[in-house]
Amino acid sequence: MSRSAPTFASLSLPPELLANLDSLGFSAMTAIQAQSLPLVLAGQDVIAQAKTGSGKTAAFGLGMLLQLNLTLFKVQGMVLCPTRELADQVAKELRRLGRHLPNLKILTLCGGTPLGPQAGSLEHGAHLVVGTPGRIQDHLHKGTLDLARLRMLVLDEADRMLDMGFAGEVDDVISFCPARRQTLLFSATYPEEIRQLSASVQRDAAVVTVEALHDAKHIEQQVYAVKDNGEKPALLKAILAHYQPASTVVFCNTKVDCQQLADALRADGYAALALHGDLEQRDRDLMLVRFANGSSPILVATDMAARGLDIKDLAAVVNYELPYDPEVYVHRIGRTGRAGKHGYAFSLVSPSQAKRQKGIEAYLDYSLPLSDAGQLNGQTAYTMAAGMATLCLAAGRKQKLRPGDVLGALTGDAGLPGSAVGKIDLYDFQTFVAVSADYAQQALARIEAKGIKGKPVKARLVD
């Protein structure tokens, strides 16, 4: 193993934790983990600059888990996130990292769901909470969340929290935290506002910076020039037909453009979803689930809605419009080409966006390669159809449902092969299951007829 990629075994971690990391496929540390984790384990405050997908959750999560007193059902660690999507993602990763720990309890506290059930869960105690500033603030002021035993506070994607106007809420939440604590601040960028935040909430913080730009070997960037925006729909379809990516996120700058493009793609036979801030939280959750489980190969999204989106093996990113901020461009394309995989980043650029392109190239310190749309030779009738369908079950964690129960019901009496069942997303009161589109009706009929483990469960196919 090279010095640039030390293993987790090189750290003084408990054997059971190392065994769990090995079972998860974690061996060599990422750059942010190698640089920050020793500092975190030493109890030092850290401010770390790292992009999404760099492995930062494990960088703070392992340190947080190792500090826990599992016999004490009091909140000992808290992660603040800018969006519910990121909070859900972080909580799931912490559960994976800590699955070897007996009786570990992690709660997600975000808006979009009733306050009462969350307060009820807090009454029974928790070791870690992950949530958004506003909802955490609500619980603190109502007295349903007690941080007296907090040992570690993490601000994840702190730059986005400030951009979204959460500075006041963050300050208020921190005022409820014990003065003696370890504070970790993770941010994709390092503007003056982040320096000021660090100075106000951290003590002698160590600064860790991981190069934010992307390896050209893993992300193939291409620019296609258009005369005007009217040429973009046909060009987008030509790119999809030529490269036929298994999954694609198409970025628009406004909610209106996002919805209109998704509607137009669906009208032409493409399985496309829209993700933007005008959607209700439950609809946003459903869009993310359907895209992540392969029920829709195209997600048209705004940057704000897609923040925290973590899709493994994302094949391509399309900048339907270039962002105004070069750092946003880096965040967008960084969602593909992860973990050594190859990915594409296509940008459709009109003359009015030439200045933005130059700004991005100056930031990257290299020119973006210009491609010839005339060389695209995909089938003009090609559309991206979904290979999977999503089954929604009206039962979840609160009904003691487990992924194994769902899998058993579908592969047992229903007769579905294991390969026909994909991602299973378990929530408190509902469960989403990806099943092969060829078996979708068969799976639905089985659940409606026999339920799960002998108990009736309402089910529907999500359209």
Confidence band for 2, pLDDT divided at 50, 70 and 90: very low
Taking 60 as the threshold, does the pLDDT of residue 44 lie above it?
yes
**218 vs 108: which has the higher pLDDT:** 108
Average confidence (pLDDT) over 380-398: 83
Supply the pLDDT for residue 370: 94
Supply the pLDDT for residue 379: 60
Q: For residue 196, how far is the Cα from the chain centroid? A: 27
For 18-133, where are the E strands, in sequence order?
46-49, 77-80, 106-109, 128-131
Q: Which residue has the tokens 């000021």?
A: 196
Taking 60 as the threshold, does the pLDDT of residue 191 lie above it?
yes
Supply the pLDDT for residue 51: 66
Domains of the chain: 8-209 (3.40.50.300), 219-375 (3.40.50.300), 388-462 (3.30.70.330)
Per mean pLDDT, which range of 68-72, 161-165, 312-316 is the poorest?
161-165
Best mean pLDDT range from 35-39, 291-295, 424-428: 35-39
Confidence band for 385, pLDDT divided at 50, 70 and 90: confident
User: d(Cα 442, Cα 417) in Å, to the nearest integer?
Assistant: 12
Question: What 3-state DSSP class applies to 388?
Answer: strand
Supply the pLDDT for residue 6: 84
Taking 70 as the threshold, does the pLDDT of residue 414 lie above it?
no
Ordered alpha helix ranges (H), 127-252: 133-142, 158-163, 167-175, 192-201, 232-243
Taking 70 as the threshold, does the pLDDT of residue 212 lie above it?
no
Residue pair 361/367 in contact by the 8 Å Cβ criterion: yes
Percent residues over pLDDT 70 in the chain: 93
Tokens standing for residue 372: 């010839």
Best mean pLDDT range from 174-183, 209-218, 240-249: 174-183
Taking 60 as the threshold, does the pLDDT of residue 395 lie above it?
yes
Confidence band for 308, pLDDT divided at 50, 70 and 90: low
Tokens standing for residue 61: 């999560």
Supply the pLDDT for residue 413: 65
Look at residues 312, 290, 301 and name the one whose alpha carbon lies nearest to residue 391. 290
Cα dihedral 150, 142, 133, 77 in deg (nearest 10): 20
Taking 60 as the threshold, does the pLDDT of residue 213 lie above it?
no
Supply the pLDDT for residue 74: 95
**312 vs 143: which has the higher pLDDT:** 143
Taking 50 as the threshold, does the pLDDT of residue 1 lie above it?
no
Taking 50 as the threshold, does the pLDDT of residue 420 lie above it?
yes
Supply the pLDDT for residue 216: 59
